[in-house]
Amino acid sequence: MKDCKTSINQHRLRVKKLLKEKNADGCLIYSSVNKYYLSGLIFKGFIYIHKYRDPVFFVQRETSLEETHVFQIKKPEEIPAILESLNYPDINFLFMEKGQMPYNDCVRLKNIFKPEKTGDATELLRIARMIKTEWEIEQFRISAAKHAEVYDMIPSVFHKGMRDIDFQIEIERLMRQNGSIGLFRTHGDMEIFMGSLLTGNNASTPSPYNFALGGAGIHNSLPIGSNGEIIDSTKTVMVDFAGNFTAYMTDMTRVYTTGEPGDEAGKAHKLSVEMHKRLMSEVKPGVSCSSVWRWSKKMAEEAGFGENFMGRKFKAKFVGHGTGLEINEPPILMERSGDVFQPGMVFAYEPKFVFDGVGAAGIENTYIVTESGVEKLTVFEEDIIKIP
């Protein structure tokens, strides 16, 4: 069943199951991504999920929600009386979005519900969201198809003498014309606008954010991505945009060039493609996410590209990550990850190499973990793409 409603019911069941496992009473959800996950909509207000009962929606503005229990409220202080009127059990152990809700808001909820114990709904929901439903996978397929369509059009918007930022802007427009919702949702303290495009030395420039690569950006207030470098034929152009054509984002990177970026980048790029082949042949349910980091790093080092792998001045400590409503979801493919691949996970794998003066090489694809292996979602040309 690939419809949205069925999927949302599955999400709720998953959250309820996790709440039962924790012996919690329920969770109170406020963040946009988790409200979307549990209702298919974004509205102003809260969702209360009790471990055994129907969800209750507390709405602070007009909404088109069609649910059994929808209540208009002005402030969260009104919630307990409403739950009592529905004969919902007292809340002794409440999960709140402690990993994303501001301290003040969590304290306010604690004062309202006075639970004996609280748990972290951020973590709980991230675990629930990690395994995707059929409908969610369908959303990724829609995003992936559009993502590939746009990447195929990228050479058509290049013209000679462009700066990286000019090229980036044209790609942004292509993305939007093809249905990108624009907003790039991340978890934690990461900021980015639509995606990143890196060429030349800027690919070696570290950024304060936890993305695989950096870039100086065009302004001190957003130090990531394009910085105004002129694109020339001795450089690579790495394009890494969020495929946010649905709420479920694919992540895909490809490398373009207008000339000959040199043997080293070419070799490293081929190695990245090889790594993706190995991933497809080795990853299946039960395999550890850390193993992928280990053999990826080893392959890079054995090929003599250890110094270029995952950055130069600053190196990313992961080679892949789950993706979904936010670009950085579990699992994480890194040395110290305790995650194991499970059917229904959707993740991006991005072995990348950076060469001073040239730019970055390598590709990123988004994969689904199936019952027996992985399936590539972002099917598109993987060699370095020549811009005529």
Measured at the CA of 243, the angle between CA 364 and CA 207, to 5 degrees, comes to 60
313 lies in the binding site for its own copies (CB under 8 A) = yes
User: Closer CB to its own copies, residue 147 or residue 276?
Assistant: 147
32 lies in the binding site for its own copies (CB under 8 A) = yes
Residues in CB range of 163: below 8 A, 6 or more apart:
226, 228, 229, 230, 231
Distance CA 41, CA 67 (A): 12
User: Closer CB to its own copies, residue 246 or residue 365?
Assistant: 246
For residue 178, the one-letter residue type is: N
Q: Which of 179, 262, 266, 343 binds its own copies (CB under 8 A)?
A: 179
Distance CA 21, CA 152 (A): 46
Work out how close the CB of 169 gets to its own copies at its nearest, in angstroms, rounded to a whole number. 4
Q: Which of 5, 44, 75, 160 binds its own copies (CB under 8 A)?
A: 44
Distances (CA, A) of 79 to 62, 104, 133, 201, 310: 17, 18, 31, 55, 48
User: Closer CB to its own copies, residue 192 or residue 374?
Assistant: 192
Distance CA 352, CA 348 (A): 12
Distance CA 297, CA 189 (A): 26
Residues 329-388 that bind its own copies (CB under 8 A): none
Work out how close the CB of 237 gets to its own copies at its nearest, in angstroms, rounded to a whole number. 17
Residues 248-307 that bind its own copies (CB under 8 A): none
63 lies in the binding site for its own copies (CB under 8 A) = yes
User: Closer CB to its own copies, residue 40 or residue 306?
Assistant: 40
The stretch near its own copies (CB under 8 A) out of 14-22, 28-36, 128-136, 292-300 is: 28-36
Q: Residue 375: which of 191, 149, 209, 132 has the closest Cα?
A: 132
49 lies in the binding site for its own copies (CB under 8 A) = no
User: Closer CB to its own copies, residue 272 or residue 308?
Assistant: 308
The stretch near its own copies (CB under 8 A) out of 74-82, 172-180, 277-285, 335-343 is: 172-180
Q: Which of 140, 209, 241, 353 binds its own copies (CB under 8 A)?
A: 209
Q: Residue 195: which of 174, 172, 221, 212 has the closest Cα?
A: 172
Work out how close the CB of 375 gets to its own copies at its nearest, in angstroms, rounded to a whole number. 24
222 lies in the binding site for its own copies (CB under 8 A) = yes
Q: How many residues does the chain have?
A: 388
* Maximal CA-CA distance, the chain: 71
Distance CA 168, CA 171 (A): 5
Query: For the window 131-170, what string marks contact with its own copies as x by the rule CB under 8 A?
Result: -----------------------------------x--xx
232 lies in the binding site for its own copies (CB under 8 A) = no
221 lies in the binding site for its own copies (CB under 8 A) = yes
Reduce the DSSP state of residue 330 to 3 states and report it. Answer: strand
Work out how close the CB of 206 gets to its own copies at its nearest, in angstroms, rounded to a whole number. 5
Asked if 83 and 48 touch (Cβ cutoff 8 Å), the reply is yes
206 lies in the binding site for its own copies (CB under 8 A) = yes
Can you give 150-182 as a three-state secondary structure string? HHHHHHHHCCCCCEHHHHHHHHHHHHHHCCCCC
230 lies in the binding site for its own copies (CB under 8 A) = no
107 lies in the binding site for its own copies (CB under 8 A) = yes
Distances (CA, A) of 361 to 269, 271, 315, 355, 356: 5, 9, 14, 8, 11
Please identify which residue in the block is written with the tokens 């988004």.
366
Tokens representing 147 are: 């993502």
User: Closer CB to its own copies, residue 4 or residue 13?
Assistant: 4
120 lies in the binding site for its own copies (CB under 8 A) = yes
Q: Which of 24, 128, 197, 325 binds its own copies (CB under 8 A)?
A: 325
The backbone torsions φ and ψ at residue 168, rounded to the nearest 5 degrees and listed phi first, read: -55, -45
The backbone torsions φ and ψ at residue 200, rounded to the nearest 5 degrees and listed phi first, read: 60, -145
Positions in the binding site for its own copies (CB under 8 A): 30-32, 36, 40-44, 61-63, 96, 98-107, 120, 122, 166, 169-170, 172-173, 176-177, 179, 181-183, 189, 191-194, 206, 208-210, 217-223, 246-247, 313-314, 325
